[in-house]
């Protein structure tokens, strides 16, 4: 699960998907394309909306997406088109590029819908992001 800062959207996506899969079979991690928040906890607003929905994401720490993640993971879900172009620019091969998918393509195939970045908005933005990611992760978990 990849976003820009790895403190708002992708930690939620990680927590939600992880809650829906068998941890013995599926490893779920998140990362940011940027490195500003490496080592930090998720944004308090993401922690709060997760908690409201019964998930604890406080153990997560920010990490930056790295080229070896293309080998380490079978699927790379990005939150928006900007994340997608940043990640694709790092891809070492065509096979690696094929792993990259906008997460909301799960819900709106071919429509290129972004998960909006809630960082500069209010708390409601986090509720909306949570709902989108919950629906998308339900589909991903069923497919995995
Ligand atoms: P995220 O949101 O990509 O959903 O984690 C952001 C968090 C921090 C920043 C940008 C986006 N930032 O510029 O620090």
CA angle 82, 115, 57 (to 5 degrees): 110
Q: How far is the CA of 24 from the centre of ligand 1 (A)?
A: 30
Q: Which of 8, 9, 45, 80 is catalytic?
A: 9
pLDDT in the model for residue 122: 80
What domains, with CATH codes, occur in the chain? 2-143 (3.40.50.2300)
Whether residue 88 is predicted with pLDDT greater than 90 in this model: the reply is yes
Considering only CA atoms, which residue is closest to atom 10 of ligand 1?
5
Terminal C-alpha separation, the chain: 14
Q: How far is the CA of 108 from the centre of ligand 1 (A)?
A: 24
Distance CA 95, CA 142 (A): 23
3 is catalytic: yes
Average pLDDT over residues 109-136: 94
Ligand 1 in reach of 5 Cβ (< 6 A): yes
Q: How far is the CA of 128 from the centre of ligand 1 (A)?
A: 16
Considering only CA atoms, which residue is closest to atom 14 of ligand 1?
5
Considering only CA atoms, which residue is closest to atom 11 of ligand 1?
5
Whether residue 78 is predicted with pLDDT greater than 90 in this model: the reply is yes
Q: Which of 43, 69, 80, 117 is catalytic?
A: 117
Give the rounded distance of the alpha carbon of 2 from its chain centre: 4
pLDDT in the model for residue 124: 83
Tens digit of pLDDT for each residue in 12-54?
A: 999 999 999 999 999 999 999 999 999 999 999 999 999 999 9
8 is catalytic: no
Distance CA 21, CA 140 (A): 9
Whether residue 136 is predicted with pLDDT greater than 90 in this model: the reply is yes
Whether residue 108 is predicted with pLDDT greater than 90 in this model: the reply is yes
Distance CA 128, CA 118 (A): 9
* Residue 93 CA neighbour count, 13 Å, CB half: 7
Ligand 1 in reach of 45 Cβ (< 6 A): no
CB-CB contact of 2 with 33 (8 Å): yes
């Amino acid at each position: 699960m990849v976003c820009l800062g790895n403190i708002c959207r992708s930690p939620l996506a990680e927590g939600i998907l992880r809650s829906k899969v068998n941890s013995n079979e599926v490893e779920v991690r998140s990362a940011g394309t940027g490195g500003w928040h490496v080592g930090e906890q998720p944004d308090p607003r993401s922690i709060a909306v997760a908690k409201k929905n019964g998930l604890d994401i406080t153990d997560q720490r920010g990490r930056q997406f790295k080229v070896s993640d293309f080998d380490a993971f079978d699927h790379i879900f990005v939150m928006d088109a900007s994340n997608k172009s940043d990640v694709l620019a790092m891809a070492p091969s065509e096979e690696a590029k094929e792993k990259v998918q906008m997460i909301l393509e799960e819900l709106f195939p071919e429509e290129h819908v972004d998960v909006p970045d809630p960082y500069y908005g209010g708390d409601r933005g986090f509720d909306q992001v949570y709902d989108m990611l919950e629906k998308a992760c339900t589909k991903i978990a069923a497919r995995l």
